[in-house]
Structure 1
Amino acid sequence: MKSVVWLFLTCFFGSSAALACSSDEDGCVESEQFQLSVALGAGQRSNPLYDGESFPMLLLPDFSYYTDTWFIDNGTVGYSLAQNDQFAVSLVMRLNSEKGYFQRWFAGNVITMNSSGSFLPPEVETGAERSMSRVSVEHVKKRPTAVDAGLQFNWFGEQWQSRLNLWQDVNSKYEGQNASLSWSRFWPLAGGQFDLSTSLYWKSAKLIDTYYGVGEDELYYLERYQGRASWQPELRLGWQKALTSRWSVLTFYRYLHLDDAMTDSPLVQDDSVQTWFVGMSYRFY
Structure 2
Amino acid sequence: MVTRKMLKYINACLGVILISLSSFTYAQDELNCLSSNDCITVGEWEFSIAFGYGKKMNPLQDNDDIPLYLVPSIAYYGENWFFDNGNLGYTVKESESFSINIVTSFSDDRAFFYDWDPSNIFLAKNSDGQDINISPTALSRGVTEQPKVFNSLESRRFTLYGGLEAFFYTGYGFIKLAYAHDMFNVHNGETGHLSWNYSTAIEQWVFDFVIRADWKSAQVIQYYYGVRESENPYWSKQYQASSGWNTGAELTTRYIINEDWNLLMALRYTALAEEIKHSPLINEDNSHTYFVGAAYRF
TM over 0.5: yes
For 2:195, give the aligned amino acid.
Answer: S
Secondary structure at 1:261 match in 2? helix
Give distance in 1, aligned partners of 2:149 and 2:287: 18
Q: CA deviation at 1:39?
A: 0.9
Most deviating of 273-282 and 67-76: 67-76
Alignment match of 2:212 (pick from 199, 218, 237): 199
Q: CA deviation at 1:222?
A: 4.0
Map of 1:126 onto structure 2: none
User: Alignment RMSD, CA only?
Assistant: 2.6
What's the CA shift string for 1:229-250, capped at 9, x where partnerless? 1111110011101112211111
Residue pairs, 1:167-182, within 5 angstroms: 167-182=180-195
Alignment match of 1:96 (pick from 90, 107, 112): 107
Map of 1:79 onto structure 2: 90
Map of 2:160 onto structure 1: 147
Whether 1:247 aligns to 2:258 is: no
Give distance in 2, aligned partners of 1:153 and 1:200: 15
Give distance in 2, aligned partners of 1:116 and 1:237: 28
Map of 1:4 onto structure 2: none
Provide the identity percentage.
29
Alignment match of 2:47 (pick from 36, 52, 61): 36
Unaligned runs of 5+ in 2: 6-28, 34-38, 133-143
Map of 2:19 onto structure 1: none
Alignment match of 2:146 (pick from 131, 147, 171): 131
Map of 2:276 onto structure 1: 262
What's the CA shift string for 1:88-147, capped at 9, x where partnerless? 111101222211101132122158x9x686444769xxxxx9733x566x6321112121
Give distance in 2, aligned partners of 1:122 and 1:48: 15
Give distance in 2, aligned partners of 1:116 and 1:54: 10
Whether 1:231 aligns to 2:245 is: yes
Map of 1:165 onto structure 2: 178
CA gap 1:237/1:122 in 2 versus in 1, 3 angstroms: closer
Unaligned runs of 5+ in 1: 1-19, 124-128
Count of aligned residue pairs for this structure pair: 256
Whether 1:277 aligns to 2:291 is: yes
Secondary structure at 2:233 match in 1? coil
Q: CA deviation at 1:187?
A: 2.3
Contact (CA 8 Å) 2:149, 2:232: kept in 1 or not? no
CA gap 1:21/1:162 in 2 versus in 1, 3 angstroms: farther
Alignment match of 1:54 (pick from 56, 62, 65): 65
Whether 1:63 aligns to 2:74 is: yes
Contact (CA 8 Å) 2:129, 2:149: kept in 1 or not? no
Contact (CA 8 Å) 2:247, 2:271: kept in 1 or not? yes
